[in-house]
Structure 1
């Protein structure tokens, strides 16, 4: 098994984070297969205090050929182009827009929810919202004296 020196060095200073450490170990041992992202153009923007947008450029891709899913806090975007050779009578001097299969993955927090995905003019826009962020509470623990 591969070792993660950073994760292993944090273990003595944490209690109850075994699931988080296992998640990072799984990512490392699977060589980041969960993030099979290929070259894709995208923007991530923050709108207000709790809203985010991810825009992914999908030129020439139809809405019906795009799949957006959330699996274990990973937002996955995939497009499937048809492998047909379309009959085209045009003579291209330069062909820079290809219908390629696209795969992009983004880690999102547990309190981030996908509100909607909209495809318009070759641009996929995914709206995310942070729901009920946990307030930062400081709780002092009283120290008693044993008798």
Structure 2
């Protein structure tokens, strides 16, 4: 198990709190639990898809919550109160509950989610506000200078 101490960086930096808040949980994740397995793919210039393998879970047993820059996917199997509960000789399909968290970058929004063939697909879209997008500034010649943002 690898551990990294970031405390020397805290003493010598100012204004990087958000970066350290993202690094701390990633480095402190000692669970090492890979359940459920997942993929993160880039499907376009500003679109992404997270796919989780949630075989055996129904739509009602899954919950997706996006809060600030954290996406949380939770799965909780419904309790079965059946008198004829199966007697397993071998049980290789996990039926345990889970909670998987993903840190989202600024301006990334959840577009939707679908469940098909045991795979939960969560589609994400990065929407950068207009004021944060790069813009071209024209260089004027002396005597014809215009204020930035002035209509032509």
TM-score by length of 1: 0.68
Name structure 2 gaps, 5 residues minimum: 136-152
Partner in structure 1 of residue 138 of structure 2: none
Name structure 1 gaps, 5 residues minimum: 138-147
Figure out how many residues of one structure are paired with residues of the other and give that number.
129
Does 1:125 find its partner at 2:121? yes
Q: Closer, same or farther in 2 for the Cα pair 1:49/1:40, shift >3 Å?
A: same
Does 1:77 find its partner at 2:73? yes
Partner in structure 2 of residue 44 of structure 1: 40
Report 1 or 2 for greater relative contact order, CA contacts < 8 Å, sequence distance ≥ 6.
1
Task: After TM superposition, give the deviation of residue 82 of structure 1 in Å.
Answer: 2.0
Would you say the 8 A contact 2:22–2:103 is kept in 1? no
Task: After TM superposition, give the deviation of residue 57 of structure 1 in Å.
Answer: 0.8
Q: What is the RMSD of the two structures over their aligned residues, measured on CA atoms?
A: 3.5
Q: Closer, same or farther in 2 for the Cα pair 1:81/1:57, shift >3 Å?
A: same
Bigger Rg, structure 1 or 2: 2
Partner in structure 2 of residue 20 of structure 1: 18
Query: 1 CA distance for matches of 2:68 and 2:47?
Result: 20
